[in-house]
Amino acid sequence: MSAPKPKNKTAAAWLALVGGQLGLHRLYLYGIKDMWAWAHPVVAAVGWLGVERVRQYGQDDQLAWLLVPLLGFTLAAAAIAAIYYGLMDTEKWNTRFNQASPGTPAGNTNWLTIGAIVFALLFGSVALMSSIAFSFQRYFEYQVEEARKISQ
């Protein structure tokens, strides 16, 4: 049996940023048997179902209020993973993912890694804040409607 190929920190960070909803970063790092890699697309698909429900039934669909934030939180979690991988110390990276070939340059940080971190900060904060704003706005509008029903 051959030794596993060294895992590149920059590739993992970009995979988390670009394909995080699909769990591509987990498949790259942990392999096809990783349970969490398969959970990412399921949660993202449920979030996309919420987006579709908003498009179909409008913003007053209460089920969409619960489903849409799942998509945003999945995107934010993928961005956090990209930041985590990108900022991980080279020694820690190689200890965790490149035990078979220590000292490889795969764990080194370069400008592409920094680019992934910057884009992950931007994209992740937008996704997270949008999800929170959507959730709270819909919740408070619902509370106002219920208060109007009670007062009449």
| 106-142 tens-digit pLDDT | 667 889 999 999 999 999 999 999 988 988 888 888 8
Q: Is residue 1 part of a domain?
A: no
Q: Rounded to whole angstroms, how far apart are CA atoms 73 and 64?
A: 14
Q: Is residue 139 part of a domain?
A: yes
Q: In this predicted model, what pLDDT tens digit does every residue of 71-112 receive, in sequence order?
A: 999 999 999 999 999 999 988 998 888 876 656 666 678 899
Give pTM, 2 decimals: 0.83
Q: Is residue 82 part of a domain?
A: yes
Largest CA-CA distance found in the chain, in angstroms, rounded: 75
Which pair of structure tokens corresponds to residue 60? 């007053």
Q: Is residue 3 part of a domain?
A: no
Q: Is residue 18 part of a domain?
A: yes
Range of the domain at 46: 9-151
Q: Is residue 97 part of a domain?
A: yes
In contact, 96 and 27? CB cutoff 8 Å: no
Domains: count for the chain: 1
Residues 6+ away with beta carbon under 8 Å from 99: none
In contact, 48 and 64? CB cutoff 8 Å: no
Give Cα 30 distance to the centre of its chain: 16
